[in-house]
Amino acid sequence: MKKKKINKGTVVVFTSGEYSDYEINGVFVAIQDITEEHYAEAASEELKKEKYRQDHYAVLVNLVKMGLLVDVESVEVYLGAYATVYPKLEFH
């Protein structure tokens, strides 16, 4: 089975949550290839904690500290909802 990885130079949008709890945690660019092993290392301390006490942001901090990611300036643009396009450029 081929191992998953994020290629160097890829823009990565990290998300968490489901339904109304869904959120964008950050937009980054991979400055090195990021392998499953890298991710496992970055998440290892949080995975030792009990469920519902784990911090998604700690994993991102670890990936940055490991020299694998850099934060990218970004903006969210609201396009609309319920098959209706919002008529103005709207930032959130």
Q: Where are the domains of the chain?
A: 5-91
How many C-beta atoms lie closer than 10 Å to residue 26's C-beta?
18
Q: Residues 6 or more apart from 37 whose CB is under 8 A from it?
A: none
Q: pTM above 0.75?
A: yes
User: Based on C-alpha coordinates, what's the Rg of the chain?
Assistant: 16
Query: Span 5-91: which CATH code?
Result: 3.30.70
| Position 76 confidence tier, pLDDT thresholds 50, 70, 90 | confident
**Choice between 29 and 92, residue whose per-residue pLDDT is larger:** 29
